[in-house]
Structure 1
Amino acid sequence: MKRIFTLLFTIFFLITAATAQQPRPGERVEALKIAYLTKKLNLTTDEAQRFWPVYNAYMAELKKVRIEGRSMDELEKDEKVLAVRKKYYNDFSKALNPEKANQFFRYEKEFYGFVAKELQDRKDNRQHKQQD
């Protein structure tokens, strides 16, 4: 798993180096996520053409809910996020198939776990360097 993450991170840096504009931190994570999902879902060209427009709409709606959720209590925000996920499960199932749609949500969660672990490792490393 760590090799996959390292490979994706390397791909991301190559993509970033090829572009003149510096991406914002959120864009870097999104690029890594796209590469990760593409690899894990093993999307065909046809599947990718159907999947990515649905994914973009899904992410836009999730972003909107999360922004609006800043003024909500945590449970209410979680319910709204879940409603979006349920709504888009049907769209993802049509773009791919129900099994791959389910895998998408699993791999998305897995990816964010990798990101959280990487951020924690970096924080721990900074703290160790400061203590030395």
Structure 2
Amino acid sequence: MNYLLRSLLALLLLAAVPGAAAAQGGRGGGRQARLSQLENAKIAYLTDKISLTQDQAQKFWPVYNEFTDKRRDINKRLRLLRIDNADGLTDQQIKDNLTQGLALRQNEVTLEKEYFEKFQKVLSIRQVGRLFLAERQFTKEVLRRVAGAGGMSGAALPGADD
């Protein structure tokens, strides 16, 4: 599973954890608070792992946030195409969904290439390499903690205590 899908899975797992929303005082607000906490932990984690200077951070985060928004949009569109129950679809509908899914995955690769170039304008190539690695590491750690902590009810997020 590529790291983009793992990132999405981590966010979905956190949003679906029953205790996480209740611990924050309500289902809707709690979910948003957990996602915000996850996003803040990711920012701290990535900032540390790629050793951003203050000047770099000012230039990097708007570009990264734009990249993340576009990547989320592609992933959302991919989820809408998911075929959980193909019995209710015609063969042509299944084929169309799969074709659209492949096109969206190609868009995802094109997006990564585009932002690979943009990231190099504000980061060194070594930092860009660390960025992609750190994203994967962060996602693995979140998934590990979700699985190991039964929903992270008491577990700190990576980067939250750094």
- Provide runs of 4+ in structure 1 moved above 4 Å: 73-77
Partner of 2:128: 101
**Residue among 66, 82, 94 paired with 1:57:** 66
Q: TM-score, normalised by structure 2?
A: 0.58
Higher normalized helix content (fraction of residues): 1
Asked if residue 113 in structure 1 is aligned to residue 140 in structure 2, the reply is yes
The one-letter code matched in structure 1 to 2:126 is E
Q: Secondary structure at the match of 1:33?
A: helix
Q: What root-mean-square deviation, in Å, do the aligned CA atoms of Structure 1 and Structure 2 show? A: 2.5
Higher mean displacement: 58-67 or 116-125 = 116-125
1:34-53 to structure 2, matched below 5 A, reads 34-53=43-62
* 5+ residue gaps, structure 2: 1-28, 82-97, 154-162
Distance in 2 separating the partners of 1:109 and 1:101: 13
* 5+ residue gaps, structure 1: 1-20, 127-132
Residue 49 of structure 1 deviates from its aligned partner by 1.1
Higher mean displacement: 49-58 or 71-80 = 71-80
Partner of 2:113: 86
Distance in 2 separating the partners of 1:35 and 1:69: 28
Higher mean displacement: 36-45 or 65-74 = 65-74
* C-alpha spacing 1:94/1:122, structure 2 compared with 1 (3 Å): same
Partner of 2:13: none
Whether the 8 Å CA contact 1:89–1:102 is kept in 2: the answer is no
Residue 41 of structure 1 deviates from its aligned partner by 1.0
Partner of 1:29: 38
- Higher-RCO chain (CA-CA 8 Å, sequence separation at least 6): 2
Whether the 8 Å CA contact 1:92–1:101 is kept in 2: the answer is yes
Whether the 8 Å CA contact 2:51–2:127 is kept in 1: the answer is no
Distance in 1 separating the partners of 2:117 and 2:137: 21
Which entry has the higher C-alpha Rg, 1 or 2?
A: 2
